[in-house]
């Protein structure tokens, strides 16, 4: 895995959560799995673009990272609050970072990917929808942020674990990494 020293600016300010909105150990865990996969990566919930940048930075050269959010990345906020130009930072990556603006309930689902990171809407309908829509297209790993912190995220992850759709690989803070074992045969309705 790449050394994250050169991207420590992602954690600057905001109580150590910075632009990325993950604590450092959560970010390390996500970067680890982004570096392990050989296929595409999909992120649901872009917000400021910090985790999208981390995924693209840690991924192999040939990996395409697609990040989906209903709101545009708040580049002006980042430039003002953190004195960072994310447009320039993304161009410097020289990697495929595909930013999709749209509602994850309505956009076309990518065909296949090796890592799915779900950190979008944290209410039960939002997290259930994102899991139902994106789970079956994932080949290997699913990461959820705010597990044990957001009740709906915890409920979905616990359901998936209990029903053997996946196994737990690692957890740091509220970031959990699951190894997908099987597709959902029916939509989850909690």
β 41-44/113-118 pair status: parallel
Task: Quote the DSSP letter at residue 17.
Answer: T
**Residue of 129, 126, 131 lying closest to 161 (CA atoms):** 131
Start-to-end CA span in the chain (Å): 37
* Predicted structure pTM score: 0.91
The pLDDT value recorded for residue 5 is 80
Residue 179 region, left (φ>0) first, then alpha (ψ -120 to 50), else beta?
beta
Q: What percent of the chain has pLDDT over 70?
A: 91
Sheet with 41-44, strands from edge to edge, namely 96-101, 64-69, 41-44, 113-118, 138-144, 175-180, 166-172
pLDDT band at 81 (very low <50, low <70, confident <90, very high): low
Domain 5-180 class in CATH: alpha beta
Return mean pLDDT, the chain: 88
Task: Give the separation between CA 42 and CA 98, rounded to whole angstroms.
Answer: 9
The pLDDT value recorded for residue 50 is 86
For the segment 49-66, the average pLDDT, to the nearest whole number, is: 90
Which pair of structure tokens corresponds to residue 109?
């689902």
The pLDDT value recorded for residue 176 is 98
Alpha-helix residue ranges (DSSP H) falling in 83-134: 86-93, 124-134
**Residue of 181, 108, 174, 96 lying closest to 141 (CA atoms):** 181
Which pair of structure tokens corresponds to residue 182?
């099987």
Residue spans of the domains in the chain: they are 5-180
β 166-172/175-180 pair status: antiparallel
β 96-101/175-180 pair status: unpaired
The pLDDT value recorded for residue 174 is 96
Q: With both helix axes pointing from N to C terminus, report the angle between 50-58 and 24-36 in degrees, rounded to the nearest 10.
A: 40
Name the residue with tokens 């196994």.
Answer: 167
């Amino acid at each position: 895995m790449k050394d994250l020293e050169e991207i420590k600016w992602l954690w600057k300010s905001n109580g150590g959560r910075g632009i990325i909105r993950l604590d450092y150990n959560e970010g390390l865990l996500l970067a680890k799995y982004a570096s392990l996969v050989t296929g595409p990566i999909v992120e649901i919930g872009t917000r400021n673009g910090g985790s999208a940048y981390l995924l693209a930075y840690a991924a192999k050269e040939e990996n395409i990272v697609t990040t989906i959010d209903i709101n545009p990345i708040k580049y002006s906020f980042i430039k003002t609050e953190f004195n960072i130009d994310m447009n320039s930072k993304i161009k410097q990556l020289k990697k495929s970072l595909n930013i999709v603006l749209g509602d994850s309930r309505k956009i076309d689902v990518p065909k296949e990917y090796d890592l799915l990171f779900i950190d979008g809407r944290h209410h039960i309908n939002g997290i259930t929808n994102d899991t139902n829509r994106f789970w079956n297209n994932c080949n290997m790993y699913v990461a959820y942020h705010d597990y044990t912190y957001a009740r709906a995220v915890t409920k979905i992850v616990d359901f998936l674990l209990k029903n053997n759709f996946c196994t737990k690989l690692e957890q740091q803070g509220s970031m959990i990494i699951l190894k997908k074992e099987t597709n959902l045969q029916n939509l989850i309705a909690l």
